[in-house]
Amino acid sequence: MHLASKRILLIIGGGIAAYKSLFLIRRLREQGAQVRCILTKAGAEFVTPLSVSALSEQPVYQDLFSLTDEAEMGHIRLSREADLVVVAPATANLMARMASGLADDLATTCLLASSAPVLLAPAMNGYMWAHPATQENRQRLAERGVSFVGPEAGDLACGEVATGRMAEPEEILTAIASQLAGQSGPLACKRVLVTAGPTREALDPVRYVSNHSSGKQGFAIATALAALGAEVALIAGPVQLPTPDNLSRIDVESADDMLAACLSALPVDAAICAAAVADWKAQIAPNKMKKTGDGLPEISWQQNPDILATLSQHEQRPPLVVGFAAETEKVVEHAQAKRARKGCDWIVANDVSAERGVFGGDSNQVHVIDADGVEAWPQLDKRAVAERLADRIAHALGQS
Ligand code: PMT
């Protein structure tokens, strides 16, 4: 992450998730960012000004009409000096007041007076988030260029299970880094494409074959690259994941669609193929296949195009092509052979035996293989694998 000397204005709204903002302040400070905090009246019901000020090592701003604050730093200056304004937790009320352009406390006044980009981490009850009023406000704010991280689905403080949980501090931190990376970062001015998720190969108008890839590893890589400032084209098979900030996502179904999307993204500085592309496709039956007694349907299979090999041999070959190898035995040996056969520069080998839970899971243990040899990485969560890989890519592209 490249947050050293970045100035973040953090607005802490009134929600039970406010405690997570304390972790966020600590993580931002560890990354070298300067953090100034506004604590709303409701926010102060959940966390104390003293904790916020101790962690940020700055005074906490609470009152629009505080003479001390105004003498020391007017609210205009407070909002103008920020590289990024982050609202976490962003309550339904704060979002509504922002969408309406109200300026009835220090937080909303600063938001209205600021020309800095704004990132919201909403947190609220699931019904409040799903309410058309909140969704309209979200839409209006997004149209004005406000970015969002979360909310996530899960257990809520009110005891319900729904979408409304504030994103975890680490995720907000990544979103902050990717917001700021457009302004700087080791991959600024670099274009990369990342493939993620499974492909889905139709058998007839209603059936398909696919695999269990969730897209988590590929999405984490795309996010980490965007956080370093890269312009990322994320080419995603059918997955249930939200689109990360600051990248363009192209949704595809089949291997043929994925190849076409990859080719139209060229030229790029690097291609990272983390998708689990089906090796075969069926001759698609024009109508739904009928069950005829005990007989089994005749399906005729063909090879799918190999996207990684095509990119590796293309006349517009990216300077760096990275493949993944999903193996269940002799992981390194098979991956080395795959790297040579497909012609990519690096191959990231993972053991996808069922007991490892890599497909769909949150962690991975990989070997990174290049012309110089094999690096064994420890078991890490997929975000950490992605961040380490993104740093390696930045280094290889000569920008770090
Ligand atoms: O999505 P997750 O649940 O997070 O799981 C992550 C993952 C296990 C899917 C990921 O880490 C991974 O290993 N991706 C590659 C899966 C795969 O298809 O491996 P493979 O060994 O079959 O293929 C080798 C390489 O060739 C891969 O880069 C693949 O994208 C590419 N390929 C394969 C077939 C094909 N027709 N075209 C290709 O481009």
* Residue from 200, 212, 213, 257 whose mutation best tests the ligand 1 pocket (most atoms within 8 A of CB): 213
**% of the chain exceeding 70 in pLDDT:** 96
Q: Are 70 and 93 in contact (CB under 8 A)?
A: no
- The confidence score (pLDDT) of residue 159 equals 78
Q: Which atom of ligand 1 is nearest the CA belonging to 324?
A: 28
Exposed, middle or buried: residue 209 (CB in 10 Å: 0-12, 13-18, 19+)?
middle
Mean pLDDT for 6-24 is 96
pLDDT attached to residue 294: 80
Task: Measure the CA dihedral 132/138/142/145, to 10°.
Answer: 150
Distance from the Cα of residue 153 to its chain's centroid: 16
Per-residue confidence at 72, pLDDT binned at 50, 70, 90?
Answer: low
Distance of CA 1 from the midpoint of ligand 1 (Å): 27
How far apart CA 330 and CA 327 sit, in angstroms, is: 7
Which residue do the tokens 């390194």 mark? Answer: 332
What phi and psi values does residue 108 have, to the nearest 5 degrees?
-70, -30
**pLDDT tier, 183 (very low <50, low <70, confident <90, very high otherwise):** low
Identify the weakest region by mean pLDDT among 16-25, 26-35, 137-146, 287-296: 287-296
**Secondary-structure class of domain 7-181 per CATH:** alpha beta
Atom 33 of ligand 1, nearest CA residue: 277
Catalytic option among 37, 110, 158, 262: 158
- At 290-310, the pLDDT tens digits run 888 888 888 999 999 999 999
Distance 279 CA to ligand 1 centre (A): 10
pLDDT score of 68: 58
Percent residues over pLDDT 90 in the chain:
79
According to the model, what pLDDT value does residue 74 have? 65
Q: How confident is the model at residue 400 (pLDDT cuts 50, 70, 90)?
A: very low
Ligand 1: which atom is nearest the Cα of residue 364? 11
- 3-class SS of residue 363: strand
Q: Measured from the CA of 275, which atom of ligand 1 is nearest?
A: 30
Q: Which atom of ligand 1 is nearest to the CA of 382?
A: 4
**pLDDT of 37 above 90:** yes
For residue 118, is pLDDT > 60?
yes
**Average per-residue pLDDT for the chain:** 92
Q: How far is the CA of 376 from the centre of ligand 1 (A)?
A: 19
Cis (ω within 30 of 0) for the bond into 198?
Answer: no
Cα–Cα distances (Å) from 110 to 71, 94, 104, 381, in that order, read: 16, 12, 10, 37
CATH 3.40.50.10300, the chain: domain bounds: 191-399
Going from the Cα of 367 to the center of ligand 1, the distance in angstroms, rounded, reads: 14
Label residue 164 left, alpha or beta by phi (over 0 means left) and psi (-120 to 50 means alpha).
left
Ligand 1 pocket: which residues have CB below 6 Å? Answer: 195, 197, 213-218, 255, 273-277, 279, 304, 306-308, 323-326, 338, 350, 352, 358-360, 382
110 is catalytic: no
pTM (2 decimals)? 0.71
Q: What is the pLDDT of residue 271?
A: 98
Q: Which atom of ligand 1 is nearest to the CA of 197?
A: 1
Pocket perturbation via mutation, ligand 1, pick of 195, 212, 235, 273 by most ligand atoms within 8 A of CB:
273
Q: What digits encode the pLDDT tens for the residues 260-290?
A: 999 999 999 999 999 999 999 999 999 999 8
Q: 20-29, 61-70, 205-214 — which is least confidently predicted?
A: 61-70
Per-position DSSP letters for 91-139, written without gaps between them: -HHHHHHHHTT---SHHHHHHHH--S-EEEEE---HHHHHSHHHHHHHH
CA 112–ligand 1 middle distance (angstroms): 46
Q: What angle do CA 47, 49, 55 make, to 5 degrees?
A: 90
Tell me where in the chain the CATH 3.40.50.1950 domain(s) lie.
7-181
User: What's the whole-number mean pLDDT along residues 167-180?
Assistant: 90
Contact yes or no for 4/72 (Cβ under 8 A): no
Q: Indicate which residue's Cα is closest to atom 10 of ligand 1.
A: 274
**Rounded-to-integer distance, Cα 279 and Cα 263, Å:** 18
Closest among 203, 294, 215, 202 to 254, alpha carbons compared? 202
pLDDT at 69: 58
Among the CATH numbers 1.10.10.10, 3.40.50.720, 3.55.10.10, 3.40.50.10300, which is that of 191-399? 3.40.50.10300
- Residue whose CB lies within 8 A of the most ligand 1 atoms, among 209, 308, 320, 353, for a mutation test: 308
Instruction: Name the more confident of 247 and 34.
Output: 34
